[in-house]
Amino acid sequence: MKIFVLRLGHRISRDHRISSHCGMVARAFGANGIVYSGEHDQELLDSVQNVAKQWGGKFEVKYEKDWKSFIKKWKGRVIHLTVYGIPIQERIEDIEKSKDDLLIVIGGEKVPPEIYKLADWNISITNQPHSEIAALAIFLDKLFKGGELYKRFAKGMIRVEPEERGKKVIKK
């Protein structure tokens, strides 16, 4: 199963940090790639791709101008993370059983109403206001049952050696 994240509505003037964090969380928590829509931002694409290159693992980063067409062409299931959806604990088993490739849609600016109809599942992490970054991390953690936290990334130039106190970074 491949898992991609679609980040809707990136705005260069406002969202660089949030959008880059969406990419880093997607990678670190086990997704195969992230697709950005909204304003094309080559600096953002390069930044997230550079993290993948430095820290290792295979992770795709790309831009898609037409998010709706991208979703309609997706070969797999679509999960929209939204405050208004069905609680994750009520649907995670169904999602796990599907075995299809997954496209996880996370918002940016106001989410277009069509998303709710295009998604196979509209899932909430909580019905309270929260960050799409937190929702993505929690969703992927539930999907992988915590296994992504032990993932090793091949061919990285930077690796952290866990320590009780202090910081130990190994650079190749």
Per domain, the residue ranges of the chain are: 3-171
Q: What is the pLDDT of residue 162?
A: 92
Q: Which residues contact 164 (CB under 8 A, 6 or more apart)?
A: none
The band of 108, judged by pLDDT with boundaries at 50, 70 and 90, is confident
For residue 109, pLDDT beyond 80: no
For residue 94, pLDDT beyond 80: yes
Look at the block and give the residue holding tokens 């959008």: 19
Q: What is the pLDDT of residue 47?
A: 97
Q: What is the pLDDT of residue 44?
A: 97
For residue 4, pLDDT beyond 80: yes
Query: Which of 38-62 are b and which e, b meaning 16 or more Cβ less than 10 Å from the residue's Cβ?
Result: bbebeebbebbeebbeebbbebebe
160 forms bridges with which residues in the sheet? 169
Q: What is the pLDDT of residue 168?
A: 94
Class (C level, CATH) for 3-171: alpha beta
For residue 121, pLDDT beyond 90: yes
- Three-state DSSP string of 124-165: ECCCCCCCHHHHHHHHHHHHHCCHHHHCCCCCCCEEECCCCC
CA trace torsion 16, 141, 111, 99 (10° rounding): 120
The band of 6, judged by pLDDT with boundaries at 50, 70 and 90, is very high
The band of 110, judged by pLDDT with boundaries at 50, 70 and 90, is confident
Q: What does the pLDDT look like over 18-47, one tens digit per residue?
A: 999 999 999 999 999 999 999 999 999 999
> How far is Cα 69 from Cα 66, in angstroms, rounded to an integer?
6
Q: Which residues contact 74 (CB under 8 A, 6 or more apart)?
A: 101, 103
Number of alpha carbons in the 13 Å side-chain half-sphere of residue 148 = 20
> How far is Cα 33 from Cα 22, in angstroms, rounded to an integer?
11
Q: What does the pLDDT look like over 76-88, one tens digit per residue?
A: 999 999 999 999 9
- Find the helix or strand (DSSP H, E) in which 68 lies: helix 67-73
